[in-house]
Structure 1
Amino acid sequence: MSTRSLPLRPNLDQLKIQANELHRAHREQQPSAAARIAAHHPEMKQLSPAEVLARTIALADAQLVIAREYGFDSWSTLKHHVELADAVAKLSPHPRFDEAVAAMDAGDLDRLRRLIASDPALVHARTNLEPPYHYFTGATLLHHVAGNPARGRLEGKLPPLPKNSPEIARLLLDAGADVHARTLGPHGGDTMGLLVTSKQASDADVTGPLIDVLLQYGARLDLKSEGALDASLQNHAPRAAEKMIELGAKADVLAAAALGRMDLLRGFFDNEGRLLSRPRRHGQEMADRDAIGLAMLYAYVREQHEAVDDLLEKDGNWNMTGVNNGAALHRAAFAGDLTMVQRLVGKGADTSNRDNPFNSTPLSWADHNKQDAVFQWMREHCRIDLHDAVTFDLRDHVEARLREDPSSVNTRLDHWVIPQGTPLHWAASMNREEAAKILLEKGADPNILAGNGMTPLDVADVDHAAAVRSLLEQHGGKRTAAAKRARARRRPESSVPYRIDEKQRLLQVRQSIDEKEWDTILAVMAEQRLTGLDANGQMTDAVLARIAELDHVTRLELNFSKQITDDGLEHLARMSRLQQLDLSWLPGISDAGVANLTPCDQLESVSLMGTPTGDGAINALTGKRRLRHFKSGNHVTKAGLPLFHQFPAFKIWEGREPAFSLMTFTPEPTSLLLRGSFTNEGLRSLVGLDGLFALNLDHDTLAVTAAGLEPLADLPHLGWLGFDATDEAMPRIAAMPHLRFLMCQDTVAGDEGFVALSRSQSLEYIWGRRCYNLRGRGFSALATMPALRGLSVSCKNVDDEALSTLPRFPALTQLMPMDVPDAGFRHVGRCEQLEALECMYVTDMTDAATAHLAGLSRLTSYRAWTSRITDRSLEVLGRLSSLERLLFENIAGITDAGLAALARLPRLREIELDMLPNVTSEGVASFPAHVRVKSLLS
């Protein structure tokens, strides 16, 4: 089971070093190494760490463990993956590949024919060349005919596969496309393999004709092997299975069930319900109960209800897996199908079944998908295993499992985060103090090693589980040597459960606080009359009731506090001074709960983003004269949009000066974010909101198209727009007369769209992030924009010639050089007007890139996240006397020595440091007193 993640561009030499280190640690008799080996070596799974240390292991054994920690079966498979990454990295994308795919998606044969005629090599070109690598890495145009993967079709971002897909395939094959060519990634396949597992092709009813075309050109199609139809049926491609049956493939009981072919299905059983013909898999016949159970799973996943009912009347193994992942009980729990859950449990399905890639139970699947009714029913009616009981803090189940089997207190279980972890490891990870106390009282070993070599105390440290950490220390818990070294490198964690931002008068709660620490927090809030609280996702209904007693609180950041319900929101009705309220990503609230904000007339900002709220919440906030910023929940409808005319700040322009920048996502003076089921027609009701400055519609689930933007041009002060832009939408956006900022994150627009956008005379900022269809022509066009001050677009597919236009951007002062290679920074270094550089999404950036920045004499702000720069870069920056603001996050190459170079900057006013593993508290303290230092080192 995978417990570690490979870097996007793995290095085989580094992996060899890790194997050597593990081999040496075993020779040195380190228990943590033994625990890792026992967890991942197939021949040592049943051994204790002591028994592993008593064995002699070869370097090949250590290599196998490293491979398995990264999720590979063997060292050779891991090595092949690294070599694949190296090979793919040498390939270059074809500049017109996306244009050809767009023609295919539109069914435009003439356009595709012209593109291929102008460059015949296009049919052999490959795309999807960036990590992470998957089955579609290195796909050709012919592979795209299959519509697998969906590329947004399931979400409605693209239309269905065109009906002339067979003619498109024939055109490509006639032009020289290789019908046998395989994609390059792990588990890659040829076009036929992609086609017979394509739900999109099946939905568009083009599978059969496409199969015929591919066969005519020599493609291979397996019709004879055991389970030849399985892949099609598991991937919701019934048209492929039907075509294969037509061509001679044999339909067994599993296929009959998946297709809902009751005529075939009943023929596989006698009058007593006994199976007459067993399906064969892996060279042998399946047992009757297994075959029936698996057939029922196929039918359930394919929503063949009559087949499900028929099979459930028979004697089957209802714990079978085999349709991608999960047994039927997992799938029903995840779907919130309580009736099916009850039927399966009644028939003896295993409620503790962890036979799936996530090693999780049906209860966990229900929780993960927020299926509260299923979760509650299973909690009340099913046996919950000890690890789940700890995870979900179910004391009654914890005690019941330990009464049934006291020895289970140290039972190990694989998990994708903690391999071979005990219940105590899980209690530490989740900071379950009560469960940890019970486990320790019942004999849990506080120093047992998990399969990642960590003790429960190590886990508590990593997950900031303060309460459980204290308990473990009281019971003799120890840290491993590796954990001690890591802890020594970190700044000592404060015992105070909060930090105070004096500038904002805001108390920020520390991660994983003890419930009793709220007494201290509330006392400090009252004593210092602090006006703001950031709960760090830990607010509860009970604590919110106590907060409501503090009459000086005007700001509450309660986002991600999943324990809050509508009962807790009732207390907000008493907080009449409340001005700023963030309730985003709270799954347990509704419009009824938000209605408690009706008396809060001082509100200026409210966020309900990611919550199951809608029109009712909007209605509760109408008439509030100060409310200038609102982010809606997920269920706004067409009927709710006219209510914004009753938001005075949105209705009438008050003359405030707009304030925003490239990195500002709540612009002033007014902003509105909308999510829901409304369409183009609904947006027309926003006309007349003369006070609205910023409107965020940038989400791929919204059913708003380019045409829906037309009425927005009539909003007289709309200066900031977020939209999931397309080539069709860009001309309409460019025509908006007052627009100054465009948020089009991860836009699918290409050069055509960006060329159209470049005609805007008013746009000052563009935020595009992963806009991988942007090429040189579109980027060069942006250099003609007279007002463009800030730019954040991916330059992954922008050539160096186009990058060389950067110094010619007439107004550019703020830049995020996303995906710019080190050599490309020589063009950035020639942008003499630059005042701010945001080095985000440049993970491969090194000191070579920074060296090009030495001449930026006007640069006042530099921020860098997750890159490969070292102290050498900080030495370069330390000579830029204009710098005033700095940020460095998640950069291992920075040490105290590098910070010392920055401490001498004459104009430096503030610096933020986070996740710098080789920086100590001494390094942080090296800055003079006038520099404001914000440090969250880990």
Structure 2
Amino acid sequence: MSTRSLPLRPNLDQLKIQANELHRAHREQQPSAAARIAAHHPEMKQLSPAEVLARTIALADAQLVIAREYGFDSWSKLKHHVELADAVAKFSPHPRFDEAVAAMDAGDLDRLRRLIASDPALVHARTNLEPPYHYFTGATLLHHVAGNPARGRLEGKLPPLPKNSPEIARLLLDAGADVHARTLGPHGGDTMGLLVTSKQASDADVTGPLIDVLLQYGARLDLKSEGALDASLQNHAPRAAEKMIELGAKADVLAAAALGRMDLLRGFFDTKGRLLSRPRRHGQEMSDRDAIGLAMLYAYVREQHEAVDDLLEKDGNWNMTGVNNGAALHRAAFAGDLTMVQRLVGKGADTSNRDNPFNSTPLSWADHNKQDAVFQWMREHCRIDLHDAVTFDLRDHVEARLREDPSSVNTRLDHWDIPQGTPLHWAASMNREEAAKILLEKGADPNILAGNGMTPLDVADVDHAAAVRSLLEQHGGKRTAAAKRARARRRPESSVPYRIDEKQRLLQVRQSIDEKEWDTILAVMAEQRLTGLDANGQMTDAVLARIAELDHVTRLELNFSKQITDDGLEHLARMSRLQQLDLSWLPGISDAGVANLTPCDQLESVSLMGTPTGDGAINALTGKRRLRHFKSGNHVTKAGLPLFHQFPAFKIWEGREPAFSLMTFTPEPTSLLLRGSFTNEGLRSLVGLDGLFALNLDHDTLAVTAAGLEPLADLPHLGWLGFDATDEAMPRIAAMPHLRFLMCQDTVAGDEGFVALSRSQSLEYIWGRRCYNLRGRGFSALATMPALRGLSVSCKNVDDEALSTLPRFPALTQLMPMDVPDAGFRHVGRCEQLEALECMYVTDMTDAATAHLAGLSRLTSYRAWTSRITDRSLEVLGRLSSLERLLFENIAGITDAGLAALARLPRLREIELDMLPNVTSEGVASFPAHVRVKSLLS
């Protein structure tokens, strides 16, 4: 398995040095070198590091290991790849090549003919001459006829292959194009090879005519070898396979299944379901079970449901791979096809199968594609192996596997990107402290070496797994010599230009980084395959171009990155796996730039808040089935609002359970924030958005009045509303039958408005913040609301008598006591149902206020920002045994002694500490291992 990445322009001499160093390390009896050799040398895979050290190896063996670490089968193939740069360098870009390709894409024969007539050398010119090199490197115009690669067609950026593609091919060949010319990159091929594996040509139904043209000009087409049809069928090009059968290729049981040819498929079996003729692959006849299993996989990937059903009734090996990198169970798990997952598991498919390039199980595939239903079902009904159990923090499965086989604690296997790693390596990589503790208690070797030569402690260092690192050090874990040298060279952790949120797989860039530090950040992103990046307002167009090369990134937080322009957004078109994108407050982008998101069909959340974008941006995002959260730019007009009927998640209610709380500003399952020049009339076009749960119109620049709210009452699932409410608007809001959350931040409404709002029978949360016109009468009226669970309003002008009604709020469980004086906290302390207290905007709060909270026996969450409390408050909180979650930010009076009082809380699960100048790392470390500590101290 590949464990290292080559630079864009690798140097052969440097690779030779690496091989020599590995060879020398083996002679010096270094265990880490032996572990790498055992993991990657095909003849030593079953040997222990000690057995490898006992052998004599040649330099060629070391070269083979280096090649395999970089993902090449042999040193010669690695060498060829490195030398490819010299072959490509012989060609120079043709100035009119792109113009010719554009003519071909448009099917414009006359324009293409004129271009070639003006410069006949065009037909021999090549493109894609810059690294990284891939199979289309050095492609000619003729290669482009095949439509492989898609070059944006899958995302709709280019039209389908033109119907006159055969005529285009004939024009190029008549002009002297070489029908046998091959692309220059790894796994490159000639035009025929590209064509018979082209889904785009097959979809456009031009494959057959193109094959005929190429054959007329002397192209070669293999019709005789075993598996001649496999490449076409594996690459979703059925029209190519059908044409090849027409020309004489033999259709075996695999092809019949993939094409859904039930007449042929049934003819391959006798009445007892046994194969009458077995297909041959790799020079050998396949067994019945393997052939049936692979045929079923072909059928499943090609969505030939009748063939799948027929084959599943037979005795097959359901763990066969050969199409799209995984077995059928992997494909079903990735697709979220729970019914198929259940069928395959019921028929004995291996749930621990890692026979794929990613060395990952079906459970991992489900997790990677966020197929939660499949993941949960497999967790509950399948045997999850120890590596997966540790990786996904499934304690019950960890304990069960160790009970079944105690010796498995030190099992090595290729899992994800760690070759021959043990469960303890993965506990370190994922910072699974509880799992690591269990493994060590059951005899895990803290110094065992993975196939990359790393100990678990080395892995913990690289992945910044502080909790597991401490645990390993306590159990005698050691670092390898190479890791010690790297650690010595590494700058102090406080100066590392990023921090990693392990739970979210998110890299957060620190403030004020140098341009050169992006090299480090991108290297870490690539090495750890982190899925998210928070640029902390420092992204540029140039860096975004490099980010787009990382195919594992699904989340980008680019808000406040004022250097980004439309040129930078062009790179997002290549990031088709993006799911979450924040472009808020970017002044240099426009609708034209946002149009580059059209190919990104996996998007779930997009924020353009504060940007000069409008209707064009909305249009670019229409039709995206996964897009559930959208925040618009500042220039939405009446004409843009009807486009939201083309947002499937907003149009149709999918039945997901709403999820929100007092402090949730992107509620689930769907949310829409709008800013622009539209008026009351425009809002009427939102009627019919039956899938919309949350709508945020809370901005004083919007030309929407209380009357504009009337049509919103017809939205059947509108449960969350943000609106710049007035006394006039409050009665209309109260009358909305399904409304559960109102955000009216800094509202000018006074007692009349809040009294009217109190008539709502459905409202559960009110967020008002600095609503200084609220006084005693309005506050007291809120105490009559039967469903009100969460409240955030300023009590600056609310008298003590009105505050005394707090304990009488019938459903109140979450409170932000904004502007409540210390004495007023005695009323808070009598709210026996309180579960969460958010002490924000109470900058004068002292320990006297906290003392009133000692009787809140149901309080599970307490968070405090910028106040005058000290360790005395933490001592009070330390006696509230119900507390599970805590946060303290920007509070100078807290020290290590106060944290020690909290460390004894029996139910505490997580604590967040930020900007506490008198807290040290020792204080942070005082919490027990089961408490998740998030610390950004300054």
Same topology, TM > 0.5: yes
Task: Summarize the Cα distance change of 1:462–1:108 in structure 2 as closer, same or farther, 3 Å threshold.
Answer: same
Q: Is the 8 A contact 1:490 1:920 kept in 2?
A: no
Question: Equivalents in 1 of 2:410, 2:556: separation in Å?
Answer: 41
Question: Equivalents in 2 of 1:571, 1:859: separation in Å?
Answer: 48
* 3-state SS in 1 of match to 2:218: coil
Task: Summarize the Cα distance change of 1:136–1:507 in structure 2 as closer, same or farther, 3 Å threshold.
Answer: closer
1:646 Cα shift? 20
1:30 Cα shift? 1.5
1:89 Cα shift? 3.0
Number of aligned residue pairs: give it.
938
Deviations 1:51-77 (Å, cap 9, x if unpaired)?
222222221111111111101111111
Q: Is the 8 A contact 2:541 2:567 kept in 1?
A: yes
Q: Is the 8 A contact 2:197 2:235 kept in 1?
A: yes
Task: Summarize the Cα distance change of 1:749–1:41 in structure 2 as closer, same or farther, 3 Å threshold.
Answer: farther
Question: Equivalents in 2 of 1:530, 1:232: separation in Å?
Answer: 33
Partner of 2:386: 386
Q: Is the 8 A contact 2:156 2:598 kept in 1?
A: no
Task: Summarize the Cα distance change of 1:91–1:257 in structure 2 as closer, same or farther, 3 Å threshold.
Answer: same
1:94 Cα shift? 0.8
Task: Summarize the Cα distance change of 1:158–1:810 in structure 2 as closer, same or farther, 3 Å threshold.
Answer: farther
Q: Is the 8 A contact 1:253 1:268 kept in 2?
A: yes
1:225 Cα shift? 0.6
Partner of 1:752: 752
Q: Is the 8 A contact 1:845 1:869 kept in 2?
A: yes
Question: Equivalents in 1 of 2:776, 2:180: separation in Å?
Answer: 33
Task: Summarize the Cα distance change of 1:830–1:388 in structure 2 as closer, same or farther, 3 Å threshold.
Answer: closer
Task: Summarize the Cα distance change of 1:659–1:27 in structure 2 as closer, same or farther, 3 Å threshold.
Answer: same
1:893 Cα shift? 44
* 3-state SS in 1 of match to 2:499: strand
Task: Summarize the Cα distance change of 1:519–1:258 in structure 2 as closer, same or farther, 3 Å threshold.
Answer: closer
1:266 Cα shift? 0.7
Moved more, 902-911 or 212-221: 902-911
Question: Equivalents in 2 of 1:783, 1:112: separation in Å?
Answer: 76
1:641 Cα shift? 3.1
Q: Is the 8 A contact 1:97 1:122 kept in 2?
A: yes
Q: Is the 8 A contact 1:38 1:48 kept in 2?
A: yes
Task: Summarize the Cα distance change of 1:603–1:180 in structure 2 as closer, same or farther, 3 Å threshold.
Answer: closer
Moved more, 32-41 or 526-535: 526-535
Moved more, 55-64 or 300-309: 55-64
1:32 Cα shift? 1.1
Quick check: 1:686 aligned with 2:699?
no
Question: Equivalents in 2 of 1:892, 1:117: separation in Å?
Answer: 78
* 3-state SS in 1 of match to 2:692: coil
1:631 Cα shift? 3.5
Q: Is the 8 A contact 2:155 2:599 kept in 1?
A: no
Moved more, 277-286 or 652-661: 652-661
Task: Summarize the Cα distance change of 1:454–1:363 in structure 2 as closer, same or farther, 3 Å threshold.
Answer: same
1:563 Cα shift? 31
Deviations 1:591-629 (Å, cap 9, x if unpaired)?
999999999999999959999999999999999999999
Q: Is the 8 A contact 1:2 1:416 kept in 2?
A: no
Moved more, 30-39 or 538-547: 538-547
Partner of 2:32: 32
**Percent of aligned pairs with the same residue?**
99
1:815 Cα shift? 50
1:197 Cα shift? 0.6
Q: Which runs of 5+ in 2 are unaligned?
A: none
Deviations 1:181-226 (Å, cap 9, x if unpaired)?
1111111111011101100000000000000000100111111110
Q: Is the 8 A contact 2:387 2:415 kept in 1?
A: no
1:801 Cα shift? 80
Deviations 1:407-428 (Å, cap 9, x if unpaired)?
0000001134211110000000
Task: Summarize the Cα distance change of 1:292–1:708 in structure 2 as closer, same or farther, 3 Å threshold.
Answer: farther
TM-score by length of 2: 0.59
Task: Summarize the Cα distance change of 1:854–1:378 in structure 2 as closer, same or farther, 3 Å threshold.
Answer: closer
Question: Equivalents in 1 of 2:577, 2:325: separation in Å?
Answer: 51
Moved more, 657-666 or 160-169: 657-666
* 3-state SS in 2 of match to 1:420: strand
Moved more, 398-407 or 56-65: 56-65
Task: Summarize the Cα distance change of 1:496–1:648 in structure 2 as closer, same or farther, 3 Å threshold.
Answer: same
Q: Is the 8 A contact 2:428 2:460 kept in 1?
A: yes
Moved more, 390-399 or 839-848: 839-848
1:497 Cα shift? 15
Q: Is the 8 A contact 1:489 1:917 kept in 2?
A: no
1:906 Cα shift? 55
Q: Is the 8 A contact 2:354 2:415 kept in 1?
A: no
Task: Summarize the Cα distance change of 1:121–1:369 in structure 2 as closer, same or farther, 3 Å threshold.
Answer: same
Deviations 1:620-676 (Å, cap 9, x if unpaired)?
999999999984699999999369999999999999999999999999999999999
**Correspondence 1:223-622 to 2 at 5 A:** 223-493=223-493, 607=607
Moved more, 303-312 or 550-559: 550-559
Question: Equivalents in 1 of 2:573, 2:139: separation in Å?
Answer: 57
1:778 Cα shift? 64
Deviations 1:699-758 (Å, cap 9, x if unpaired)?
999999999999999999999999999999999999999999999999999999999999
Moved more, 653-662 or 261-270: 653-662
Question: Equivalents in 2 of 1:643, 1:409: separation in Å?
Answer: 56
Question: Equivalents in 1 of 2:888, 2:555: separation in Å?
Answer: 28
Question: Equivalents in 2 of 1:516, 1:630: separation in Å?
Answer: 34
* 3-state SS in 2 of match to 1:507: strand
Task: Summarize the Cα distance change of 1:85–1:803 in structure 2 as closer, same or farther, 3 Å threshold.
Answer: farther
Question: Equivalents in 1 of 2:282, 2:823: separation in Å?
Answer: 53
Question: Equivalents in 2 of 1:776, 1:43: separation in Å?
Answer: 82
1:108 Cα shift? 0.2
1:490 Cα shift? 1.9
1:362 Cα shift? 0.3
* 3-state SS in 1 of match to 2:640: helix
Q: Is the 8 A contact 1:464 1:511 kept in 2?
A: no
**Correspondence 1:640-655 to 2 at 5 A:** 641=641
Q: Is the 8 A contact 1:662 1:814 kept in 2?
A: yes
Question: Equivalents in 1 of 2:454, 2:188: separation in Å?
Answer: 36
Question: Equivalents in 2 of 1:705, 1:760: separation in Å?
Answer: 20
Task: Summarize the Cα distance change of 1:649–1:137 in structure 2 as closer, same or farther, 3 Å threshold.
Answer: closer
Task: Summarize the Cα distance change of 1:707–1:221 in structure 2 as closer, same or farther, 3 Å threshold.
Answer: farther
Task: Summarize the Cα distance change of 1:806–1:15 in structure 2 as closer, same or farther, 3 Å threshold.
Answer: farther
Q: Is the 8 A contact 1:491 1:921 kept in 2?
A: no
Task: Summarize the Cα distance change of 1:339–1:699 in structure 2 as closer, same or farther, 3 Å threshold.
Answer: farther
Question: Equivalents in 1 of 2:156, 2:784: separation in Å?
Answer: 34
Question: Equivalents in 2 of 1:430, 1:672: separation in Å?
Answer: 34
Q: Is the 8 A contact 2:541 2:564 kept in 1?
A: yes
Q: Is the 8 A contact 1:98 1:773 kept in 2?
A: no
Question: Equivalents in 1 of 2:750, 2:282: separation in Å?
Answer: 47
Question: Equivalents in 1 of 2:897, 2:292: separation in Å?
Answer: 67
Moved more, 126-135 or 524-533: 524-533
1:50 Cα shift? 1.8
Q: Is the 8 A contact 1:465 1:512 kept in 2?
A: no
Question: Equivalents in 2 of 1:259, 1:787: separation in Å?
Answer: 58
Question: Equivalents in 2 of 1:877, 1:392: separation in Å?
Answer: 32
Moved more, 853-862 or 155-164: 853-862
Moved more, 418-427 or 538-547: 538-547
Deviations 1:314-350 (Å, cap 9, x if unpaired)?
1111111111310000000000000000000011111
1:154 Cα shift? 0.9
Moved more, 140-149 or 55-64: 55-64
Q: Is the 8 A contact 1:734 1:756 kept in 2?
A: yes
Q: Is the 8 A contact 1:591 1:613 kept in 2?
A: yes
Task: Summarize the Cα distance change of 1:421–1:900 in structure 2 as closer, same or farther, 3 Å threshold.
Answer: closer
1:272 Cα shift? 1.5
Question: Equivalents in 2 of 1:318, 1:656: separation in Å?
Answer: 33
* 3-state SS in 1 of match to 2:156: coil
Question: Equivalents in 1 of 2:142, 2:629: separation in Å?
Answer: 48
Question: Equivalents in 1 of 2:782, 2:873: separation in Å?
Answer: 29
The RMSD of aligned alpha carbons is 22.9
Question: Equivalents in 2 of 1:265, 1:498: separation in Å?
Answer: 57
Q: Is the 8 A contact 2:433 2:930 kept in 1?
A: no
* 3-state SS in 2 of match to 1:403: helix
* 3-state SS in 2 of match to 1:414: strand
Moved more, 804-813 or 539-548: 804-813
Task: Summarize the Cα distance change of 1:142–1:624 in structure 2 as closer, same or farther, 3 Å threshold.
Answer: closer
Question: Equivalents in 2 of 1:264, 1:852: separation in Å?
Answer: 81
Q: Is the 8 A contact 2:155 2:600 kept in 1?
A: no
Q: Which runs of 5+ in 1 are unaligned?
A: none
